[in-house]
Amino acid sequence: MTRFGFIGMGIMGSAMAANLVRAGFEVVVWNRSPQKCAPLQDLGARIARTPRALVAECPVTFAMLADPQAAADVCFGQEGVCDAMVQGKGYVDMSTIDAATSQRIAAAIREKGGRFLEAPVSGSKKPAEDGTLVILSGGDRTLYEEVEPAFAKMGKRSFYLGDVGQGARMKLVVNMIMGAMMAAFCEGLVLGERGDLDPETILEVLDAGALANPMFRLKGPRMLAEDFAVNFPLKHMQKDLRLALLHGDETAQPLHVSAAANEAFKQARAQGLGDEDFSALLAALRTNSG
């Protein structure tokens, strides 16, 4: 039986690891808050005491962490991933982080003789649960081919994009576009409401034309019902926009629309909406419109 380690039992990681367990893989899990591992243990996964202990017993380890700092801490911290990395072991970081952090982790893994693959995903809670994520990989090609059976249980399609950093950059492009779309969507709904348009009719009109898309179709009715149950936390969207803007600085690429979207999400965070779904931007804009 193939054994995989999985670090990070948040909204995404817990669903992805569960799909690996259900597919018949042997899975060892770890999370900074141990209680989040309990549902996976109930499914048949085993719990490791530390990231180091997990990597020591698993040929390949996946990680799904909140941000660059969390990814670095798990790799470089005490009892971390690097402490157990040896020749031939694989480390697949599926977190959404910047290219520089991904490259730093890759260099440390390779220095120990390990193999590294970045593999951030496009998709939120429901695609993670359904195993329909889109996986964006960069790094060790042999490791990518080795974990394709696992990717097939977590996603509907995977891309190999080349060197480490390319997967991270692709994910930031995807989420930057998504954040700008959500900001425009929310502003449009609020503007329509201010003009006495029926918001449900706005959704119907959008879905009937060239602007029809799965995100508006899924999120729209929930947003009108003020259902902001978290699938993708607003604070994570703002983090991804910030990282995309930093990449824009690095490449001297103007990102006017995304910069404005980032400010809108920052304001929503300041209003205490960071732990809500990123569609809760609507609530912030309604408040601001007075």
**Residue 238 and residue 199 in one domain:** yes
**Residue 149 and residue 190 in one domain:** no
Q: Which of 138, 164, 190 finishes a domain?
A: 164
Q: 89, 125, 171, 235: which one is catalytic?
A: 171
**Residue 84 and residue 149 in one domain:** yes
Q: Tokens standing for 265?
A: 């999400």
* Residues 85-101: tens digit of each pLDDT: 999 999 999 999 999 99
User: Does the pLDDT at position 289 exceed 70?
Assistant: no
Q: Identify whether 36 is a catalytic site residue.
A: no
* Residues 13-59: tens digit of each pLDDT: 999 999 999 999 999 999 999 999 999 999 999 999 999 999 999 99
**Residue 241 and residue 111 in one domain:** no
Residue 208, burial from CB neighbour count under 10 angstroms (0-12, 13-18, 19+): exposed
**Residue 187 and residue 113 in one domain:** no
**Residue 87 and residue 202 in one domain:** no
**Residue 75 and residue 184 in one domain:** no
**Residue 7 and residue 142 in one domain:** yes
Please, which residues have CB within 8 angstroms of residue 268's CB and are 6 or more apart in sequence? Answer: 234, 238, 274, 280, 281, 283, 284
Band (290; pLDDT cuts 50, 70, 90): low
Q: Which of 164, 180, 213 finishes a domain?
A: 164
pLDDT of residue 1: 60
**Residue 106 and residue 247 in one domain:** no
The domain of 214 spans 171-289
Q: Calculate mean pLDDT across residues 261-286.
A: 98
Q: The domain spanning residue 121 has which CATH number?
A: 3.40.50.720
Percent of the chain at pLDDT above 90? 98
Q: The domain spanning residue 227 has which CATH number?
A: 1.10.1040.10
pLDDT of residue 116: 98
The model's pTM is 0.93
How many domains does the chain divide into? 2
- Say how far apart CA 13 and CA 10 lie, in whole Å: 5
pLDDT of residue 288: 80
* Residues 113-151: tens digit of each pLDDT: 999 999 999 999 999 999 999 999 999 999 999 999 999
* Residues 176-189: tens digit of each pLDDT: 999 999 999 999 99
**Residue 197 and residue 256 in one domain:** yes
